[in-house]
Chain A
Amino acid sequence: MKKFSWRGLSIVIFICVTAFYLAPLAIPNLPEWWAKNRLKLGLDLRGGMQILLEVDTSELSAADARGAVDQNIKIIRERIDQFGVAEPSIQKLGENRIMVQLPGVSNYEAAENLIKQTAMLEFKLVVSGEEAKKVLDTVDLNISNNLSFFPKLAELDKKDKSILADKADSVKAGSGVFSSLVRPGEVDFEVQYSDVRLIQDLLADSLFQQAVPMGYQLALDKADTESARADRILHVLSSAVELSGADLAKAKVEYGSSTSTDPRIANKPYISIEMKREGSRKFERVTADNTGKRLAIVLDGVVYSAPNIQERISGGRAQITGKFTSSEANELAIVLNTGNLIAPIKPISTSIIGATLGSDSIRSGSMAGIIGLIAVVFFMLVYYKLCGFIADFVLVFNVGFILAMLTAFGATLTLPGIAGMILTIGMAVDANVLIYERIREELDQGKTPRSAVDAGYKRAVITVWDANLTTLIAAAVLYYFGTGPIRGFAVTLAIGIIGSMFCAIVFVRSILDTFVITGTSKKLSI
């Protein structure tokens, strides 16, 4: 046995660590604790969806705001779990942002809606007839007095007036600025599809909300997914909340039988809800006091259905029927069960990557990597002969080491990360080149292989340190200030630098000392 050397020990550790973290990629059926250390692929490589959400805490007190983000994360996590996504990642970013990553999801729209929905459930009484008309008249009056605040309506008003001069429009409900957008339907007001977006924007506008008289609220009904371009209904509601999501105990999707006499549920999915004890009492009182009126079920300001109250309902059971598909009904049940978000959230950036693109990227990325690797290996072999071979041999370990370290840090491999790794291959041999060139110079001066290697290393190592430390600074800054994929890139770069320095200074040196320069060999193949 040779005598102990730190260099030898560090190489053994280097190889063991690399083997430990790479084993799960190569060997199936490893024990659970071992196999779970697997290199994760980034969303850009496996496809999926990433949403960055911002929590709007402006309406909460500072103390509530702090808890709201965490509470929201909990609710979003529950929703996603119930939706069924493998390995989702939900993280808090900074003060009030949430990053949600859903690998492998292809039903993007549903997933996004499920996450961002506040799911504020409210039961409100519908106002109809003369009272409703009066509300619209007031809205008209308030708007025409402040027309300058509503540029879109002002524009419309101008256009309308010029048309009206030619022919009287008999279909429209009123001549007011706002009411000209709606026409009276059988019970409520109807909105033409072309005006729906305008009305939606108005309803979300806080200035417009001020134009609606106190105690009332306007709301559109839910769009029908099957006929997206159909006209919509505008309800006038009393703004008092009779019952809210907090009174809800459980929501469940059910299917009406095809023989059901109720056309609203026949052969269609609906949600049956069960109320808490307090809620059932409230529900009973509301239905008793308002028999004959209609009760709107409003979720996030959209009326899902507005059934007639036929009689007093005790027992706290109700149904939400409406125009939804079975998947919509499922999602609705999830959001009702998980409760409403504490503060509204808004997606501020979304990325969707199709699965095909991801696998294409992996394929072309590894292709480029292999070609680059072969080119570099070939060059080193030709140029430095045996020493080149040693550098190549070590380079393979270096690449393995980068992959192993990425696994160890729980980093995800992204496309820029792969690019960083490929470039590292090119740069990794730099330390070797520096050292070898120096050794050649020393040999030219007539030194023996052993003293040439010693002197060459002694001088070149200073340069290697100086040159690589500065690059390491760049990588560190990149990591610190970068986000997402850029961070992955910085980590790969830093690991690559450390790995290649170790390989050139320790690994290659050991091989040279142990196997190449034995005894008093006169020649060095370099």
Chain B
Amino acid sequence: MRVLKNANIPFVKIRYYAYAVSIILILAGLGGLIVNGLNWSIDFTSGVAAKVNLKAKDTSVAPLKIDKLRSILKSNGYPEAEIQFVGPEEDATFMIKIKSKTSASAVSSDTKTQILEIIQTNLSDYIKGKDLGKDVIEEIYEVGPKVGGELRTAAGFAILISLLLMIVYIWFRFEFTFGVMAIVALFHDVFIIVGIFALTGKEVTVQIIAALLTIVGYSINDTIVIFDRIREDLKIYRKEPVAEVFNRSINQTLTRTIITAGTTLLTALALYFFGGSVLHDFAFAMCLGIIFGTYSSIFVASNLVIDINAITHKEKQTMQHLTKRK
């Protein structure tokens, strides 16, 4: 069985359409970022997130309404609390999030104790007969303002450093233009996904940062496989126009690109559908990353090299410097 055997799709020719698509996606994401901003999780903003099970043991007690919980927290000094159901409504599992927006209203280290106290005193019907530690609290995260800020800096730093190191590596193995364009393609992927997170209002957690970095790794992998083929083909077809060589290389690696994207997407989808609520957004980001990473490897990275090369090396038709045997 073969997928796309001897494909000959004019990727290089249609590159301007692809650029248009990319620019539209990036602009949409940028719009989302400007209008909505990013919904940073408490890992970054600092605050408290508590997942509590408030399903009454006594079946005669009416299930707890989300509005009731909200009004109780509001009247006890937490009007800014965000409350959501986790899972089906009849499970009565709630996620309560209190983010400290400014340093003035910073969440103190006993905010979680206070919230538990409020629940214990006002909703005693729902926790009667249950062990607070074992049956009510599913998880609580409390992040102080100091840690939150630090984490955000560290995450940004980690992404930046890894991108720089990759440019250096590709520069060393290929050429500077290739390195820079590979990174441009990466920015493209990361930016589109961040944009989608801004548009959908999904929370950016530490896990999402990990997903973004995995996407960076995956997408660069994909791009380099194509670059590698281009490097090889440039040596074989020395007299052909650059655009044709590039197009051939992209087509030759197309099967591999699609299959790898497919198998990785299979596992990412398995995570998305079966991985449980904690990994849901992580898997969502991964799926997007695989799709856009593959897209940018095929349509963006190498095509940009052609365009940049046309600008910087006007007099030459071929890329002499890369056709030398190493």
Please give the residue numbers on chain A whose beta carbons come within 8 Å of chain B beta carbons, in ascending order. 44, 52, 54, 106-109, 228-229, 346-357, 360-361, 363-365, 367-369, 371-373, 375-376, 379-380, 382-383, 415-416, 419-420, 422-423, 425-427, 429-430, 433-434, 437, 440-441, 459, 462-463, 466-471, 473-475, 477-478, 480-483, 485-486, 489, 493
Interface residues in B268-306 (C-beta closer than 8 Å to A): 268-271, 273-276, 278-279, 282-283, 286
Which of A349, A354, A486 is close to B147, meaning CB atoms less than 8 Å apart? Answer: A349
Tell me the smallest distance from the CB of A147 to a CB of chain B, in Å.
Answer: 20
Q: Which of B8-16, B63-71, B196-204, B207-215 contacts A (4 or more CB under 8 A)?
A: B207-215
Closest to A488 in B: B210
Instruction: Assess A376 versus B279: contact at CB under 8 Å? Given A228-B117, A357-B138, A489-B210.
Output: no
A425 CB, nearest partner CB in chain B, Å: 5
Are B131 and A106 in touch, CB under 8 angstroms?
yes
- Whole-angstrom distance between the Cβ of B40 and the nearest chain A Cβ: 15
Q: Is B317 an interface residue (CB 8 A)?
A: no
A369 to B140, CA, bound (A): 26
Closest residue of B by beta carbon distance from A382:
B1
Tell me the minimal C-beta distance from B227 to chain A in angstroms.
8
Q: Are B228 and A467 in contact (CB under 8 A)?
A: yes
Instruction: Give the chain B neighbours of A423 by CB distance below 8 A.
Output: 214, 264, 267-268, 271, 286
Min distance, Cβ B24 to any Cβ of chain A, angstroms: 28
8 Å CB contact of A368 from B3, B224, B279: B279
Query: B218 and A433: CB pair below 8 A?
Result: no
Q: Is the C-beta of B154 less than 8 angstroms from some C-beta in chain A?
A: yes
Establish whether residues A375 and B267, one from each chain, have CB atoms under 8 Å apart when the complex forms: yes
Known A383-B259, A468-B221, A486-B206; judge A425-B169 contact (CB<8 A): no
Asked if B158 and A467 make an inter-chain contact with CB atoms under 8 angstroms apart, the answer reads no
11 contacts between A and B (CB under 8 A): A107-B133, A109-B113, A228-B121, A348-B109, A363-B276, A371-B274, A383-B3, A419-B271, A471-B218, A474-B217, A486-B210
With contact pairs A228-B117, A353-B139, A423-B214 given, residues A348 and B221 touching in the complex (Cβ less than 8 Å)? no
- Which residue of the partner chain, among A347, A361, A364, A430, contacts B144 with CB atoms under 8 Å? A347
Cβ-defined contact, A375 with B270, below 8 A: yes
Nearest B residue to A197 by beta-carbon distance?
B114
Task: Give chain A residues whose Cβ lies under 8 Å from the Cβ of B279.
Answer: 361, 364-365, 368, 415, 419
Asked if B187 lies at the interface with its beta carbon under 8 angstroms from chain A, I say no
Other than the known A368-B274, A379-B266, A478-B213, what 18 A-B pairs have Cβ atoms closer than 8 Å? A348-B143, A352-B137, A352-B139, A353-B139, A354-B138, A361-B278, A364-B276, A368-B270, A368-B271, A368-B276, A379-B262, A380-B263, A426-B266, A426-B268, A433-B256, A434-B256, A437-B255, A474-B162
Contact partners of B154 in chain A: CB under 8 A: 481-483
Q: Complex: how many Å from CA A419 to CA B67?
A: 35
- Given A369-B270, A466-B224, A471-B218, A364-B275 contact (CB < 8 Å): yes
Within 8 A of A (CB), among B110-131: 112-113, 116-117, 121, 131
Q: Are B169 and A473 in contact (CB under 8 A)?
A: yes
Interface of B is mostly: helix
Instruction: Determine the chain A residues whose CB is within 8 A of the CB of B216 once the complex forms.
Output: 474
Given contacts A108-B137, A360-B276, is CB(A419)–CB(B158) below 8 Å? no
Q: Does B30 contact A (CB under 8 A)?
A: no
**Whole-angstrom CA separation of A5 from B134 in the bound complex:** 57
Q: Closest CB-CB distance, B134 to chain A, in whole Å?
A: 5
Q: Which residues of B contact A376 (CB under 8 A)?
A: 263, 266-267
- Cβ contacts under 8 Å, A108 to chain B: 133, 137, 140
In the complex, chain B residues 76-116 whose Cβ is within 8 Å of any chain A Cβ: 109, 112-113, 116
A348 to B283, CA, bound (A): 29
Say whether, besides A375-B270, A470-B169, A481 and B157 are in contact (CB < 8 Å).
Answer: yes
Min CB gap A484→B, angstroms: 8
List residues of chain B with CB under 8 Å of any chain A CB: 1-3, 51, 109, 112-113, 116-117, 121, 131, 133-134, 137-144, 146-147, 151, 154-155, 157-158, 161-162, 165-166, 169-170, 173, 206-207, 209-210, 213-214, 216-218, 220-222, 224-225, 227-229, 232, 252-253, 255-256, 259-260, 262-271, 273-276, 278-279, 282-283, 286
Per the bound structure, the CA–CA distance linking A102 and B109 in Å amounts to 18
Determine how close the nearest CB of chain A comes to the CB of B222; give it in whole angstroms.
8
Residues in B neighbouring A468, C-beta threshold 8 A: 221
Given contacts A352-B137, A415-B278, A473-B162, contact A459 B270 (CB under 8 A): no
Q: Is the CB of B109 within 8 A of A372?
A: no
> A503 CB to closest chain B CB, in angstroms?
15
Q: A427 touching B260 by the CB < 8 A rule? A: yes
A58 to nearest B CB, angstroms?
A: 14
Contact A420 to B117, CB < 8 A, known contacts A375-B267, A477-B165: no
Cα of A350 to Cα of B141 in the assembled complex, Å: 6
> Given that A375-B266, A415-B279, A485-B207 are contacting pairs, would A357 and B139 also be in contact in the complex, using a CB cutoff of 8 Å?
yes
A423 to B218 alpha-carbon distance, docked (Å): 10
Q: What 8 A-B pairs are tightest by C-beta distance, nearest first?
A: A364-B276, A426-B264, A372-B267, A426-B267, A372-B270, A348-B144, A106-B133, A481-B158
Cα–Cα distance between A369 and B272 once the two chains are bound (Å): 11
What's the nearest-Cβ distance from chain B to residue A429, in Å? 5
Kindly list chain B residues whose C-beta atoms are within 8 Å of the C-beta of A429: 260, 263
Residues of A within 8 A of B209 (CB): 486
Residues of chain A within 8 A (CB-CB) of B259 are: 383, 433, 437
A486 surroundings in chain B (CB, below 8 A)? 206, 209-210
Q: List residues of chain B with CB within 8 A of the CB of A348.
A: 109, 143-144, 146-147
A473: nearest residue on chain B (CB-CB)? B165
* Interchain CA distance A163-B189 in the complex, whole Å: 63
Question: Hey, which chain B residues are within 8 Å of A419, CB to CB?
Answer: 207, 271, 275, 279, 282-283
What chain A residues lie within 8 Å of B158 (beta carbons)?
477-478, 480-482
Q: How far is the CB of A132 from chain B (nearest CB, A)?
A: 29
Q: Which residues of A contact B227 (CB under 8 A)?
A: 466
Which of B1, B147, B210, B282 has the most A CB atoms < 10 Å from its CB? B210
Shortest CB–CB separation between residue B196 and chain A, in angstroms? 19
CB distance from A331 to the nearest CB of B (A): 15
B220:A470 contact, CB within 8 angstroms: yes
A354 touches B137 (CB 8 A): yes
The residues of A that contact B112 with a CB separation of less than 8 Å are 350
B274 to A: closest C-beta gap in Å:
4
How long is the Cα–Cα vector from A427 to B219 in the complex, in angstroms? 11
Chain B residues, CB < 8 A from A474: 162, 166, 213-214, 216-217, 220
B218 touching A427, Cβ below 8 Å: yes
Is the Cβ of A463 less than 8 Å from the Cβ of B225?
Answer: yes
